[in-house]
Structure 1
Amino acid sequence: MLTTLKNYPATVNLLLSASLILTLARAITLPYLVIYLSGSFSLSVADIGLVIGSTLIIGSLLSLYGGFLVDRVSSYRLILALTAVFALGFLGTFVARDIWLFYGCLILINLAYAVIDIAVKSGFGSLLPVTERGEVFSIKYTLTNIGYAVGPFLGAGMAKLDISLPFLLSAGLGAGFFFIYFVWGDRGLNAADETRKTVPFLAVGKLLLQDYRLVCFTLGGLLSAVVFGQFTAYLSQYLVVTTTPESTYQIISTVVATNALMVIGLQYSIGRKISHKHLNLWLAAGLSMFMLGLAGFALSTSILLWVISMAIFTLGEIIVFPAEYMFIDKIAPDNLRGMYYGAQNLANLGAALGPVLCGVVLATQRPHYIFYMLVLFIVAGGLFYFLGASSLRAEPDKDSV
């Protein structure tokens, strides 16, 4: 991977560093949001879930317009402006003493992060040939997971001094990347074409709804994200109901470590092999791994079985994420990449929905029924994936506006 990074243009490496640094900043505070909201604002568990889930949903929905801006505004200026919003959002959470100000800052953080992610992926499409994009998406996902693996440890160290300090550290990382990108960023990256006819946002949105492939793949991603978007949340819910708090903590810590180590160790080597060819087969393999992993979770009675099940589940994650990116990259017109990747971000709605649905099932049915439900979501998501992928043979790769 290091050899590949050395061969990339400086602009590509700077975009990859955005994924690493900003994800690290986000991961520093995520594990402590529940504790912070409870201690600083005296919120109940239900209210905390509402705050965290709704800010993610609002940020994801607004990022669709952010994708529109990626296609219309210079990516350099957009990334710079949103990095400033990202840093100021974390600074706001550090100083906020009112829950609504804190809530607004969380929305800004999620929105800025989502749109920067869209701009980064769109930048890859304009800077690299088709044959190299699967590899760069895998590197990006590897770096993202490194950020999520390291961030909580940095946050833990800061939280021991003061529970609010992780927010200040995250703000500092955002400000640091702002300076780096201001000095070394490519000012010509995805610069707007002034000769191109401007199309209103709603008109572009209508055009996207007419793309059968995009609609199918967005629905497939949303349904599948219920399963893999926040798996630690619903596994924690399941374990709290079926085991002791001590066992829950031990198992969750172990499976999270297993997931992080496998993604960091295998994502690049496996993901680089995924190309536009045989996407159906790759998706079938990835979704099958998810289903086998879920079956393993349902049957696990020891930490070893939990680790094996998580390893299988993680293989699905390693395959499906790059395959999703490659599909969108294949069908997205050059002048609408931002909007297409913005539509893909709507899968976050499924991630936010997962813990809610699992909570309802756990409250009303036998605990292991959640795995039946999650398998159904994988089957439904896979159906939409394959409907979208199979249509590639009948429809042109690129549309135009």
Structure 2
Amino acid sequence: MFATLKNYPRSVNLLLCATLLLTLAKAITFPYLVIYLIDHFGLDITQVGLVIGSSLIVGSLLGVYGGFLVDRIHSYPLLLALSALFVLGFVGTVVAHHLWLFYGCLILINLAYAVIDIAIKAGFASLLPEDARSGVFSIKYTLTNIGYAVGPFLGAMVAKGDISLPFMLSALLGAGFFLLYWRWGDRTLTTADAAQKPVSFLAVGRVLLRDHRLVCFTVGGLLSAVVFGQFTAYLSQYLMTTSTAEYTYSVISAVLTTNAVLVIALQYVIGRRISHRYLSQWLIAGLGMFMLGVIGFALSTSVLWWVLAMAVFTVGEIIVVPAEYMFIDRIAPDPLRGMYYGAQNLTNLGAALGPVLCGLVLASLPAHAMFYMLAAFIVGGGVFYFIGASLKPRPLE
């Protein structure tokens, strides 16, 4: 992976740097949101879940318009503006004394992060040939997971001094990227087409809805994200329902470590082999691993079995995430790449819905019914992926 990074132009490495630094900034802070909201605003657990979950959903929905901006604005000023908003969001969380202001800052952070992510993926498409993109998408996902693996440990270290310090550290990391990109960012990089006539957001949205391949893959991604988007949340819910808090803690710690280690170790090795030519076969393999992993969760009776099931599940994640990127990259026309990636980000809604749906099942049905529901979402996601991959492209109107 490091040898590959050396061969990339500086613009690509700066975009990858954005992925690592900004993901690290989010990961440092977000594990402490629950504690912060309870301590500073006196919310109960239900209210905390509503604040955090809805801010993610609103950020994802607004991110679709952010994709429209990526197609209209040069990347250099856009990335600088978004990273500045990212920093302001974290500064705002520290100084906010009212819940509505804190909530607005969370939406700002999620929105800025989502649109930067879209701009990064669109930038890769502008800077690299098609056959090199699977490798860079895999490196990007590896760096994302490194950020989520390391971030909570850094947050725990600084939170010992004061619970607001993780938010300040996150703001500093965002500011560090802002200065880095301001100094060395590619001022000529753009994913916008100057020759393209101005088109309204709603008109572009109608074009996207007529691309049934995009619609099918977005729905398939949303259904799949219910399964892998926040697996620790629903596994914790299941274990707390069927066992003790001590056993839940030991299992979740083990599966989180397993997931992080395998993703960091294998993501680039496997991901760079995913090609446009065999995307359907890769997706079938990845969804099959998800299914085996979920079956393993349902049958697990010891920490070792949970770890083995998570190892299989993680291989599915390693395959499906870059394969989704590759499919959208393949079907997205150059003038609309930002909007296509923005539509793909709607799959985050599935990740937000996962714990909610699993909680409803656990509250009303036998605990193992949760795994039947997850299996149904895997099959549903696979059906939409298959339909999307089999459809022929339609010309843009």
2:71, 2:193 within 8 Å by CA — same for their partners in 1?
no
**Counterparts in 2 of 1:259-338, with a 5 A limit?**
259-338=259-338
How far apart are the structure 1 equivalents of 2:267 and 2:193? 36
Equivalent residue number for residue 395 of structure 1: 393
Equivalent residue number for residue 236 of structure 1: 236
The verdict on how the C-alpha distance between 1:39 and 1:14 changes in structure 2, with shifts beyond 3 A counting, is same
Equivalent residue number for residue 255 of structure 1: 255
Runs of 4 or more above 4 Å deviation:
none
Equivalent residue number for residue 31 of structure 1: 31
In the alignment, structure 2 segments of 5+ residues that lack a partner are: none
1:335, 1:400 within 8 Å by CA — same for their partners in 2?
no
Equivalent residue number for residue 108 of structure 2: 108
2:214, 2:388 within 8 Å by CA — same for their partners in 1?
yes
Q: Partner letter of residue 47 of structure 1?
A: Q
Equivalent residue number for residue 118 of structure 2: 118
Q: CA deviation digits over 1:56-102, x for unaligned, max 9? A: 00000000000000000001111110000000100111111211111
How far apart are the structure 2 equivalents of 1:252 and 1:246? 10
The verdict on how the C-alpha distance between 1:47 and 1:322 changes in structure 2, with shifts beyond 3 A counting, is same
Equivalent residue number for residue 199 of structure 1: 199
Give the structure-2-normalised TM-score.
0.99
Give the structure-1-normalised TM-score.
0.98
Equivalent residue number for residue 2 of structure 2: 2
1:226, 1:374 within 8 Å by CA — same for their partners in 2?
yes
Q: Using the TM superposition, give the Cα deviation of residue 191 of structure 1 relative to its aligned residue in structure 2, in angstroms.
A: 5.8
Q: Using the TM superposition, give the Cα deviation of residue 255 of structure 1 relative to its aligned residue in structure 2, in angstroms.
A: 0.3
Q: Report how many aligned residue pairs link the two structures.
A: 397
Q: Partner letter of residue 156 of structure 1?
A: A
Q: Using the TM superposition, give the Cα deviation of residue 30 of structure 1 relative to its aligned residue in structure 2, in angstroms.
A: 1.3
SS across alignment from 1:161: coil
Q: Is residue 341 of structure 2 the alignment partner of residue 352 of structure 1?
A: no
Q: Partner letter of residue 70 of structure 1?
A: V
**Counterparts in 2 of 1:32-71, with a 5 A limit?**
32-71=32-71
Q: Partner letter of residue 16 of structure 1?
A: L
1:217, 1:388 within 8 Å by CA — same for their partners in 2?
yes
* TM-align CA RMSD: 0.9
Q: Using the TM superposition, give the Cα deviation of residue 400 of structure 1 relative to its aligned residue in structure 2, in angstroms.
A: 4.4
1:259, 1:310 within 8 Å by CA — same for their partners in 2?
yes
2:123, 2:191 within 8 Å by CA — same for their partners in 1?
no
How far apart are the structure 2 equivalents of 1:367 and 1:92? 40
Q: Using the TM superposition, give the Cα deviation of residue 363 of structure 1 relative to its aligned residue in structure 2, in angstroms.
A: 0.4
Q: CA deviation digits over 1:110-133, x for unaligned, max 9? A: 000000000000000010000000
How far apart are the structure 1 equivalents of 2:6 and 2:301? 45
How far apart are the structure 2 equivalents of 1:395 and 1:178? 39
SS across alignment from 1:72: coil
SS across alignment from 1:395: coil
Equivalent residue number for residue 221 of structure 2: 221
How far apart are the structure 2 equivalents of 1:320 and 1:115? 21
In the alignment, structure 1 segments of 5+ residues that lack a partner are: none
